[in-house]
């Protein structure tokens, strides 16, 4: 059975507000997206599609894929105007696969072990995503940030990536979404929940599987990567 992965690195990083897109910021001398690609390279995934900005393709090929010998990266394709569009173009670039794992290039704490867990669960559930139970109470607010309601905490999970699906299921779901042109999906599960017919299972990744989003996260990720390196040497 063929397992593909899509690594997303086509965002602009507006909330980071640095000069370069955050996925290329250096964390311990390596571009942020290196860490996700490395995890997939060390896993049993067969093929990786890297989705980047159109102007970043040459840079990614020379300075990331070739330089670090990421041999599983078969294609580097341009992304789109929103995350869901980048995913859609990534899916289109896959010629054939049984399963696909969709991962944010801005989540460096993924490792081969988590990838293997994803493969195990997707074979079992057909549609599943990594997340963690919310530690904080979450409020729904109005436009002026007044609390509207408080959903029961134990029903709330924070969703992470990888988000993992049978390839045909997620591809067809995305195609339907693009036809309907509703650009509201902020994750892939939402697309399958709306347009697919398979329930999406959540399973635990780890609280350290952060998405580098704002400047504080760069410091946090640097420390997490450093600590992980030390542990690996023990
Ligand atoms: N992404 C993408 N294509 C887009 C938007 C986002 O491939 N059009 C990717 C990002 O590169 C990132 C992941 O999707 O790896 C999660 O998105 P997010 O954290 O929102 O990144 P950005 O969109 O770059 O950041 P911001 O929303 O602050 O602009
Ligand atoms: Mg974004």
User: Rounded to the nearest whole angstrom, what is the distance from the C-alpha of residue 11 to the centroid of ligand 2?
Assistant: 6
For the chain, counts of helices (H) and of strands (E) = 7, 11
What pLDDT was estimated at residue 203? 98
Residue nearest to atom 10 of ligand 1 (CA): 11
57 in a domain, yes or no?
A: yes
Local mean pLDDT, 10-residue blocks, the chain (234 residues): 98 95 96 98 98 97 98 98 96 98 98 97 98 97 98 97 98 94 87 96 96 97 91 68
Residue 113: name the closest of 209, 224, 4, 226 by CA.
209
222 in a domain, yes or no?
A: yes
What pLDDT was estimated at residue 234? 62
For residue 8, which atom of ligand 1 is closest to its CA? 7
Residue 219: name the closest of 26, 17, 14 by CA.
26
198 in a domain, yes or no?
A: yes
150 in a domain, yes or no?
A: no
What pLDDT was estimated at residue 233? 66
At residue 132, φ and ψ (nearest 5 deg) are: -145, 145
CA distances from 60 to 43, 71, 77, 122 (A): 21, 13, 10, 29
156 in a domain, yes or no?
A: no
**Residues 121 and 164: beta-carbon distance below 8 Å:** yes
Distance CA 222, CA 56 (A): 23
**How many structural domains is the chain composed of?**
1
92 in a domain, yes or no?
A: yes
User: Rounded to the nearest whole angstrom, what is the distance from the C-alpha of residue 83 to the centroid of ligand 1?
Assistant: 6
Domain holding 121, by residue range, is 3-128+163-233
Collapsing DSSP states into helix, strand and coil, what is residue 147?
strand
CA distances from 184 to 84, 190, 212 (A): 8, 9, 22
What pLDDT was estimated at residue 230? 79
What pLDDT was estimated at residue 228? 87
Whichever domain contains 15, its CATH number is: 3.90.550.10
133 in a domain, yes or no?
A: no
**Ligand 1 neighbour 211 (Cβ under 6 A):** yes
Residue 72: name the closest of 98, 53, 46, 92 by CA.
46
Distance CA 94, CA 194 (A): 22
Query: Whose atoms come closest to the Cα of 85: which ligand?
Result: 1
154 in a domain, yes or no?
A: no
């Amino acid at each position: 059975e063929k397992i593909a992965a899509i690594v997303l690195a086509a965002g602009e990083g507006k909330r980071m507000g640095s000069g370069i897109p955050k996925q290329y910021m250096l964390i311990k001398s390596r571009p942020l997206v290196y860490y996700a690609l490395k995890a997939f390279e060390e896993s049993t995934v067969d093929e990786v599609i890297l989705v980047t900005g159109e102007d970043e393709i040459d840079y990614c090929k020379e300075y990331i894929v070739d330089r670090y010998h990421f041999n599983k990266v078969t294609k580097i394709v341009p992304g789109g105007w929103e995350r869901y569009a980048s995913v859609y173009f990534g899916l289109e670039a896959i010629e054939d696969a049984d399963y696909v794992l969709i991962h944010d290039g801005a989540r460096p704490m993924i490792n081969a072990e988590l990838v293997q867990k994803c493969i195990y669960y997707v074979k079992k559930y057909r549609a599943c995503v990594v997340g963690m139970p919310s530690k904080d109470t979450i409020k729904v607010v109005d436009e002026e940030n007044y609390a509207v309601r408080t959903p029961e905490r134990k029903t709330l999970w924070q969703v992470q990536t990888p988000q993992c699906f049978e390839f045909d299921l997620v591809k067809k779901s995305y195609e339907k979404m693009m036809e309907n042109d509703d650009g509201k999906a902020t994750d892939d599960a939402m697309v399958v929940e709306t347009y697919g017919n398979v329930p999406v299972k959540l399973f635990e990744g780890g609280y350290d599987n952060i998405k580098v989003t704002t400047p504080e996260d760069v410091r946090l990720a640097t420390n997490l990567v450093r600590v992980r390196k030390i542990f690996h040497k023990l």
